[in-house]
Structure 1
Amino acid sequence: MASATMKQWTIDHPDKDMEGLRLEEVSLPSVSDYDVLVKFEAAALNYRDAAIAKGTFPFAHKYPIVPVSDGAGVVIEVGSRVREFSQGDRVITVFNQGHQYGDIDPYAASTGVGGTIDGCFRQFGVYSESGLVKSPKNLTALESSTLPGAALTSWNALYGLRPIKAGQWVLVQGTGGVAISGLQLAKAAGATVIATTSSEEKATKLRASGADHVINYRDQPNWGEVARRLTPGQAGIDYILDIGGTNTLDQSLKCIKMEGIINLIGFLGGSDQSQPGFLDALSHICTVRGLYVGSRAMLKDMVQAFEANNIRPVLDSKVFTLEQGKEALEYLAAQKHFSKVVVKID
């Protein structure tokens, strides 16, 4: 059995410079009948984690909280009534612990790991049996840790409302975790992918990751029309993973196909609700859909897809240690990364 104490990061209070973060030594959590004790080996960061530390996250969270929703590790101990897991199993966390299957509801949306339930920025964590799934057999712990948040959000965007088909067109925005995993999943489904970015360096990486077309939105501010012209008959894009909020929605509307789906995922570009008007969705005859990650059932399906297609998540070149947790969050917040920022936990 592990030592009686462990290291963990806690956010005591929100602060624009993330000064509420502290690394502390605490007792190991105890295991009850339906619980599983996980020794974390890796965690992956989302923009949400930095927003919670800064106090700018608009959805359910509390303080103090152990941050970070996405973790991967090995099962150390199981409660007497646990049936799905055994000691030694490799597992990942379920982002919203209460979202088991089907549509999300207000309760499930309030059960976010690292938001209202203590997260993965620590050496050990206890979760209900229903709050974990087994990791893909083909991935390392660092790779597996990227799946619960960004990858599952991309999976939901492509399969949650209307499953993607081979030959369709997908547009992803930027080079964050959602965009890159969306690119990989879309390519595995046989889709053609357009990616947008702001630099030639990132454009090169996007092409190396499988993007069929890359548009530099700084050079082409009207990138929506450029993207539409790339599609057969200029019919438009079937699925858009919109990360930028209201700064990008107007361009997404310009290139969406009739009956296409714009998935509103992020708010990196802002959350001004005045522009564009949502009646534009009617004039373009499309669905504009907000989504919040996905269910445990979806996560299990996606794990099978990663195994079957041997999809390997793309990691940023810089890997942090747990002791460098604040530095890792600052690196993410500064948007210096490509794809997923990961933290190795010993």
Structure 2
Amino acid sequence: MTLELMWSKDNAVKAAYRRQKTGRKWNPEEVINQAISRLKHRDIVGAVQRGRTGLGWGERTQRWERATQTERKQLVVEEVKRMEEEGRKVCAVSQKQQGAWVNWEDCLDRKLTWNDVWKIPDCRLSFLIRAVYDVLPCPRNLSRWYSREEACQLCGTPKANLKHTLSACTTSLQQGRFTWRHNKALRVLAAALEVRRRKAGSREETQKQTFIPFVKEGQSATQGVRRSCEGLMRKGEWEMAVDLDKRLVFPRNICETTLRPDIVLWSSVQKTVLVIELTIPWEENIQAAYERKKLKYQELVQQCAENGWRSLLYPVEVGCRGFVGTSLTRLCRDLSIGQKQLVKQMAEEVERCSFWLWLRRKDCHWKTKE
């Protein structure tokens, strides 16, 4: 409303804005001017790439100098929201425990719509919110709140934190609890890749698909190269092996190795092999997990390349509280998989399994059905 009054071409409307009273703590005119200054400064700095997704990958920002009046209003509104979000993060940085989420590197934001809130059971929604802010009644928090000694009911570790319960308990690891959660998430990823593999071998994929460049009214068309939506998995026969239900053996026609990646996709026609490794770490360790898996399979990738195969490695991380790493977006982009749907499915599956692990944190007996 303030923008409509300030930028109106009618003098009577502008006069109404001058008589408008605002609060003491928040002056909309000052905030709007600050947002406009930030937008103009962004035009000078240019596009800045963050994370490991690579140059040119991410949201494209509208330039202030080229925007229309309607687009400028929308840019100001979004920039004001961004400023408020930055202020909230500054406040969270000062909170050591509840603000630990600001240290999550290469982690996608998980947006919950009102429809998601209504569908998620209350107990799971409570677990998700309290787990993000680390206020669940784990042994460390109980010791802090009630000044008494608390320990993990499975392995006996004194004052065990939430990280220990969801991703570091040795007893849970030996009983296969973390492996069960990993396999549940791996099935979701494998199902999406299987759909893409079958589509690559179908007749529909044999026809060249391209993006149509639309031009806005009043703008001139620019000559450019049309981008193909096929991705790495072009038309042809692809084979896939998943380390589920039975022990995976790396294809011997590609390379001899004892390593067991989670998923292997290969095409003998294109001489291309894709190695995909899924990890479910603590959110603050996503970057470390990516580097560890990349180093583990680097030698395998080199051996495949020496044998004449184009080899690509994709370490994928999903935090144990249901926050997906940016590495999954790179996989979806390169294989032309629907990113939004797969990210949501992976996040919900891991969060659901972690919730079940939390409920069974005091039960020494573990038996599940896949």
Q: What TM-score do the two structures reach when normalised by structure 1? A: 0.27
Whichever of the two has the greater Rg, that structure is 2
Whichever structure has more strand as a proportion of its residues is 1
Q: Which has the higher contact order (CA 8 A, sep 6+)?
A: 1
Q: What TM-score do the two structures reach when normalised by structure 2? A: 0.26
